[in-house]
Structure 1
Amino acid sequence: MMNRSLLREQVFKLLFRVEFNPMEEMPEQEELFTSTSDDDFSKQDADYIREKYEKIAEKLDDIDKAINEKTKGWDTERMAKVELTIIRLAVYEIKHDESVPTGVAINEAVELAKKFGQDGSPAFVNGVLAKFAE
């Protein structure tokens, strides 16, 4: 089984597809993602990734609303898609996932931003998420 950081990265990649596909096509995207990925997923990993993605997708409106309340003048519409996806994932973990401590959610988000974002991404992601840790 993949470790939690790797699993989180896969959830991020699947969640990122929301930006490019209508919600009604996402079940198909989930299927494609877990069956055609370069990474070999065990059944357990694939189930975890899908399940976590679905829980986040279900709460996306609430998550975006929470982000917009915390980031005055810098709403989700203006954020780069990579950063927005990372922040959505972390906000879900902070607000709705008891198994992930807030500090871990933030650190992991910053690591994802280093890997997939641009130069300013880690600081931006950290700044937004710090508001959720208060």
Structure 2
Amino acid sequence: MSRKEQREHIFRLVFGLEFNEVSEMPEQIKLYFEQLPAVPEEDQSFIRDKACNIGAKREEIDRLLNEKTTGWKTSRMNKVDLTILRLAIYEINWDEEVPCKVAINEAIELAKKYSGEGGPAFVNGVLAKFA
């Protein structure tokens, strides 16, 4: 599975945090993988670990977002865009394997696929403050 595909699965799992508690994440991840065709254990482990790490840092990530954005606190953001930003901010600040430019580009690609018309520009604008 490519990193792009893994990132999309991570995005979906992190989006679930809008509806579930962080403590429920292990069970939600288990249910998520049960619904997919066979995903190699190595990929499952990578996706699970990164999604859980983002969940654990969610408050810190949201604090960083709230400090950098003007007029767009996390409580007002579209939940899809917010999830994309959380993933990208995690990659920029804590994932040494992902270069900043890659994190931003992949976030914009996720926004093109999952967000509304203005999503990619919004995501790009917010992430530019972190680059």
**How far has the Cα of 1:50 moved from its partner?**
0.2
Q: 1:62 aligns with which of 44, 60, 80?
A: 60
Distance 2:96 2:25 in 1: 26
SS at match of 2:73: coil
Structure 1 stretches of 4+ with a deviation exceeding 2 A read none
Identity of aligned residues (%): 55
Q: What amino acid sits opposite 1:17 in the alignment?
A: G
**How far has the Cα of 1:119 moved from its partner?**
0.4
Matches within 5 A, 1:110-125: 110-125=108-123
SS at match of 1:119: coil
**How far has the Cα of 1:23 moved from its partner?**
2.3
Distance 1:35 1:45 in 2: 14
TM-score normalized with structure 2 length:
0.97
* Bigger shift: residues 49-58 or 84-93: 49-58
May I ask how many residue pairs the two structures share in their alignment? 131
Aligned to 1:19: 18
Aligned to 1:103: 101
**RMSD, matched Cα:** 0.9
SS at match of 2:74: coil
**How far has the Cα of 1:107 moved from its partner?**
0.2
SS at match of 2:130: helix
Q: 1:40 aligns with which of 38, 41, 44?
A: 38
CA contact (8 A) 2:109 2:120 kept: yes
Q: What amino acid sits opposite 2:93 in the alignment?
A: K
Distance 1:126 1:71 in 2: 12
Distance 1:4 1:23 in 2: 24
Q: Which string of whole-angstrom CA distances, capped at 9 and with x for unpartnered residues, describes residues 64-123 of structure 1? A: 000000002211000011000000000000000111000000000000000001100000
TM-score normalized with structure 1 length:
0.94
Q: List gaps (5 residues or longer) in structure 1.
A: none
Distance 1:5 1:132 in 2: 21
**How far has the Cα of 1:40 moved from its partner?**
3.0
